[in-house]
Chains A and B, each alone.
Chain A
Amino acid sequence: MRIELKDLEFRYQMNTPFERLALHDINLAINPGTYVAIIGHTGSGKSTLLQHLNGLVKPTKGSVVIGDRTIEAGRKEKHLKGIRKMVGIVFQFPEHQLFEETVEKDICFGPINFGVPEEEAKKKARIALKLVGLSEDILEKSPFDLSGGQMRRVAIAGVLAMEPEVIVLDEPTAGLDPRGRKEIMDMFYQLHKDQGITTILVTHSMEDAARYADEIVIMHQGSIFQKGTPFEIFSQPEQLIEKGLDVPETVRFQLKLQKELGVRFDHPCLSVEDLAGEVKRVMERGSR
């Protein structure tokens, strides 16, 4: 399912003294089956942008095309449930949305809302639970008895059980330990690879963006500052640094080597392995 944002503008609290421009001149197309990372400072409009992707907020100008539905500014929209079934959102700190008595009921909540029969929803809950790496014996527990990390996983399972075609992740690993972080990110990547789920990741982590994304969108002060493949984006690290944004550790290391040893790299390295190989190559070339 293709998602397209056209000339989108969004203002918070229109016609009040608190009115604030959050997004402007956004033009972005997300093709089916891609992995897109959206990066930017706090307050750059990333989270607002992602809420447009399944009709949680309506643009104040421009339009959003989701599959065959168009959400246009200034028009009353009804029956957005169809869109929401296709586009699942994992919000920041999703564990705050847990409310049911048992883990199983909570995971089934989404699917049942979208009209899946109970038995089938339970099956989906088990599959989703396995995906997020939890064992079935917590199904009967109360979600409030779990640890923070487990709660996060259950909440994510609740979204996965809806079997969306597009999944939007708003800093899904914020506040997790490094291992949990990697497990969750790898899980989403695997899902993207295996089932072709379009994935949109909002993150602060340049490393994650560089490692997983096909395309990176950089937001700055409510508009798109740059977009391109990780390669394209990190080929000009100076521009990012100028805007006060981070670059992946590997690229930072390359920059430092270039500056201190005067060596030149042909391309930005986005993984440690790649970097090691490049450094070796460059050093050999240098010593020859």
Chain B
Amino acid sequence: MLDKMIFGRFVPLDSPIHRMDPRSKLLLVFFFVCVVFLANNLVTYAILGVFTFILIALSRIPARFLFNGLKPILLLIVFTLLLHIFFTKEGAVLFDLGFVKIYEGGLLEGIYISMRFTFLILVTSLLTLTTSPISITDGMEQLLGPLKKWKMPVHELALMMSISLRFIPTLMEETEKIMKAQTARGVDFSSGPVKERVKSIVPLLVPLFVSSFKRAEDLAIAMEARGYRGSEGRTKYRQLSWQTLDTLLMCSLVVLTALLFLFRS
């Protein structure tokens, strides 16, 4: 169950996307999130879809795995879809169920929004699936580098990010471990009345908090013991290198944006 989660997980494979510079991938995600909102008709959504699927294909992440990981969010997507279908009153009436009328505009809007949602999630998870947390942080730190001039704590932010990314799997593992321990003590996490299930969160959350605080403390001590003192005079072992592939990716983004502008209504 938890092991199917894909958020924040890195799948170490060898693919063009994996080899790309984290900076270009970060830029890609950033721009993609912006241009997604340009799409407003069937053609533009199709263009976005094709773009997304090309990226997925290039990443060599098994599609089955990716879509299994999407399942938890499916509910949210379906919910938005239904919300739009029932509450947007635009265009011609398609069905009249008596108590509720379904409008053409609502249906279309619902489909568009849920498609937008899916693309956003796919592309953002593609970033974490194909880039190790350390590279993401390095890329982020470099991209935000110029902000240091205005006293932005860029290094600290990057560190915070890498620590939280790093500990997602650990926390998941821990959650699973404690769930098992409490299940063995008779807690039922997966069935039973809602009230009981909500109550069963307590024996899970308390130990998780306790161990997280303890781990944070340990980590701080370990870092201090090894002489960590922020970004001051810190050098990097891994150097990022921008390659032709990255430039190509950026070009494809420009093309994508141009196409979207061309075909949007």
Contacts and interface: CB of A to CB of B under 8 A. Distances in A.
Interface of A: 12-13, 15-18, 51, 54, 56, 78, 81, 84-85, 88-89, 91, 94, 96-99, 109-110, 113-114, 144, 158-159, 162
Contacts of A56: 180, 183-184
A84 B183 contact: yes
B203 interface: yes
Contacts of A17: 11, 13, 61-62, 65
30 contacts: A13-B4, A15-B65, A16-B4, A16-B62, A16-B65, A16-B68, A17-B65, A18-B11, A51-B180, A54-B184, A56-B180, A56-B183, A56-B184, A81-B188, A89-B181, A89-B184, A91-B177, A91-B181, A91-B184, A96-B178, A96-B181, A96-B211, A97-B178, A97-B185, A97-B207, A99-B202, A99-B206, A109-B186, A110-B185, A162-B185
Interface residues of B, number: 27
Interface in B71-87: none
Contacts of B184: 54, 56, 84, 88-89, 91, 159
A164 B112 CA distance: 55
Contact of A113 (B61, B65, B186): B186
B186 A114 contact: yes
A113 B180 contact: no
B210 A144 contact: yes
A99 B207 contact: yes
A251 to B, nearest CB: 34
B96 interface: no
B191 interface: yes
Nearest to A98: B207
B177 A12 contact: no
Given A56-B183, A96-B211, A18 B3 contact: yes
Contacts of A15: 64-65, 68
A114 B186 CA distance: 6
Closest 8 CB pairs of A and B: A113-B186, A99-B206, A97-B181, A110-B185, A89-B184, A13-B3, A114-B186, A99-B203
Contacts of B203: 97, 99, 109
B185 A109 contact: yes
Give the dominant DSSP class at B's interface. Answer: helix
B183 A110 contact: no
Interface in B185-220: 185-188, 191, 202-203, 206-207, 210-211
Nearest to A114: B186
A23 to B, nearest CB: 16
Contacts of A162: 185-186
A69 to B, nearest CB: 16
Contacts of B13: 17
B88 interface: no
A94 B206 CA distance: 14
Nearest to A155: B181
A85 B188 CA distance: 12
A51 B177 CA distance: 11
Q: Which of B4, B62, B181 has the largest number of chain A CB atoms within 10 A?
A: B181
Contacts of B181: 89, 91, 94, 96-97
B180 A96 contact: no
B207 A158 contact: no
Contact of B191 (A51, A78, A85): A78
Nearest to B210: A144
